[in-house]
Amino acid sequence: MRVLFAAPGWDRWAPALQQAAPEMELLQDGDPAGFDAIIYAPGGEIEDLSPYVNARLVQSLWAGVERIVTNPTLTQPLARMVDPGLAQGMAEFCTGWAMRAHLGMDRYAQDGLWRGGLTPPLASDRNVTILGMGELGRAVAAMLRGIGFRVTGYSASGRPVEGVRVVAGDGLDQALSQAEILINLLPDTPDTRDILNARTLAQLPQGAWLINPGRGTVLEDAALLEALDRGHLGHAVLDVFRTEPLPAEHPFWTHPGVTVTPHIAAETRPETAAPVAVENIRRAMRGQPVLHLVDRTKGY
């Protein structure tokens, strides 16, 4: 099978992909009509996908596909990347910050003051809500449940997740009202943009923490700053933003209630993602169902 690599990072990806599929001829250019599949990510040299008329699949290297589904030249089936390494990294990031919020680690300034009487509750007495219960949300929920947190999930489908109370649709306010720690992993779609706004942030309990490694478009920046300034929210950990890199003059950088991390919560790793991409291409070539096929009407 002849596969076009149309993404940045050839030197990182090519060895892992060729190791996962020795039978694959992986190329960076050639006759468009001669390719059976495309491994793709925005930012490469190829953006016009219309000449690749015989490609049976476009396999994204990104978990998020909002910058791909809007490409008007995309006519082939599109699969998003679900990388077990990325899922583990996301779970570790969210769990680390959730533990920091839960234990109140920032209370203990090294300033000579003895702050007794601030023992945190056990994880089993702490409510965490995860917005978005796809592969990443389920991985985060599993790790948090392993520690003992009470986890509620919110998703558009409301699909059940073992050990997690999942709500959908108009259950959002209820899920937020219990979220002492709120983790956003929703995709960027017309239905999710600005879903965390002044009204919905006000549903969170007093002092709640927000952890957002999902999408920056889900959050109204001004509404978050207002909720922090009036003391309703305790802290926000933000890894994703509407504009990246986050401009140096953005108030998030200097706000005492915000921790900025530079979109490092989780990364697609070639060594764990290459087998996923290869398996999907093999499925497409055999006429079998493709894993993680994107529903373009939903945008993910």
Please give the positions annotated as active site.
215, 263
Q: Indicate the SS3 state at residue 128.
A: strand
Non-local CB neighbours of 258 within 8 Å, separated by 6+ positions: 224, 228, 235, 236, 237, 238, 252
Virtual torsion, Cα 72, 77, 78, 81, nearest 10 deg: -170
How far apart are alpha carbons 155 and 89 in whole angstroms?
21
- One-letter identity of residue 7: A
Host H or E run for residue 245: none
Virtual torsion, Cα 285, 290, 296, 297, nearest 10 deg: 130
Q: Indicate the SS3 state at residue 249.
A: coil
Cβ-based burial of 285 (10 A; exposed 0-12, middle 13-18, buried ≥19): middle
How far apart are alpha carbons 26 and 79 in whole angstroms?
18
> Would residue 74 be called left, alpha or beta, if left means φ above 0 and alpha means ψ between -120 and 50 degrees?
beta
Q: DSSP character for 164?
A: B
How far apart are alpha carbons 105 and 212 in whole angstroms?
19
How far apart are alpha carbons 122 and 291 in whole angstroms?
39
190, 216 in Cβ contact below 8 A?
no
The pair of three-digit structure tokens given for residue 277, joined into one six-digit string: 């991409």
